Amino acid sequence: MLLSDMGADVVKIERPQRGDPARQMTARVGDDSAFFISVNRGKKSITLDIFVEEGRTLFTQLVPHFDVLVENFTPGTLSEIQLDYDSLKHANPHLIYASISGFGQTGPYAHKPALDIIIQAMSGLMSLTGEVGGGPIRPGASLGDSIPGIFTALAIVSALYGRSQTGQGRHIDMSMLDCLVTMMENGFSRYFATGEVPTAIGSRHPGAAPFQSFKANDAYFVVAILSNDEEMWSRFCLTIGQSDLALDGRFRDNRGRTEHADELAKILQTTFSKKSRSHWLTALTEIGIPCGPVNSIEDVAKDPQVLHREMLTPIPHRTAGTWLVANTPFRFNSQPNGALESSPDLGQDSDDFLMSLLELPLSEIKRLRQQRVI
């Protein structure tokens, strides 16, 4: 999705008749999955059964026409049918071949299947998500999927730059677990520094206070006091009508506030519960305190900053007319970019690619389709 939004021609290869299982996910937009539309916008689709010999032959013939190949099979699957990097690099020595799997191409878990929640659990992320004393919580976004996708896009761009210098292709081994372990740097740094195992602490930050959510008399909002700015802390206390807190020895500096975070949170929650969220956000914003509302998805969809940045952008859809999707955040020279076209119908581009790249006649394409090779 990211590479497509940035202008790459991305071709999705799907199983004949069945296609990507994500096409069947809910919620539905006509006969399409809203999720599939969002993450496959701007791509093309061809159908090809690579698990039959004729399909593998066609696939190998297509490889020289592409710069990058991305696959997410369980390690070993493609080597068994000679479609792994070592087999295909002879067909295209310049090929950037990216393999995304749950645990990478090596190691004791390499051949185990994995999905988002498995990776979130095994990375430690779920153990740090939730309220104190509660059970493990999966965050509300598929971070075990999306973060590896972002890292893979970065690795592909880096490999393409390297190829421009050396002329050589490269194999990228991307582990979903590795990606989330990388993102857990705060938890690991605390563990190795103290020997204590971090646990879930709600919305609070482990190294700064106050740095969490509070409930006003009508809705939730968040406050974040910078750990090294005691003058900000004093302004904050004065503005909320708790100037004595700035003089309290327990809360005088960030270290003290963090050590006594629970006590501080109770005092602040009592204070904030007396007035509305808009009152507190206005007052705190006026004195330069970082703060913001806890938004619902509906709130975000109406947020003026989000709308100004065109982060929800319409794409055409054959039955819905237009459909809004979350945009890519990159801006080059302040110009908007990102999603422009809808997701493809299953196999809609098969004929074009087989005719233009492999010069197959329509009669041969018809035969391949009848035999379910494409």
Active site residues: 205
**Residues β-bridged to residue 220:** 215
Tokens of 187: 């938890």
Of 343, 195, 208, residue with least CA distance to 264: 208
Instruction: Output the CA–CA distances (angstroms, integers) from residue 212 to 1, 208, 281, 315, in the order listed.
Output: 32, 9, 14, 36
Alpha-carbon span 2 to 41, nearest angstrom: 10
Q: How many CB atoms lie within 10 A of CB 21?
A: 11
Beta carbons of 33 and 25 less than 8 angstroms apart: yes
Q: Please enumerate, as own/partner, the contacts of 196-199 that have beta carbons within 8 Å and a separation of 24 or more.
A: 198/127, 198/128, 199/127, 199/128, 199/132
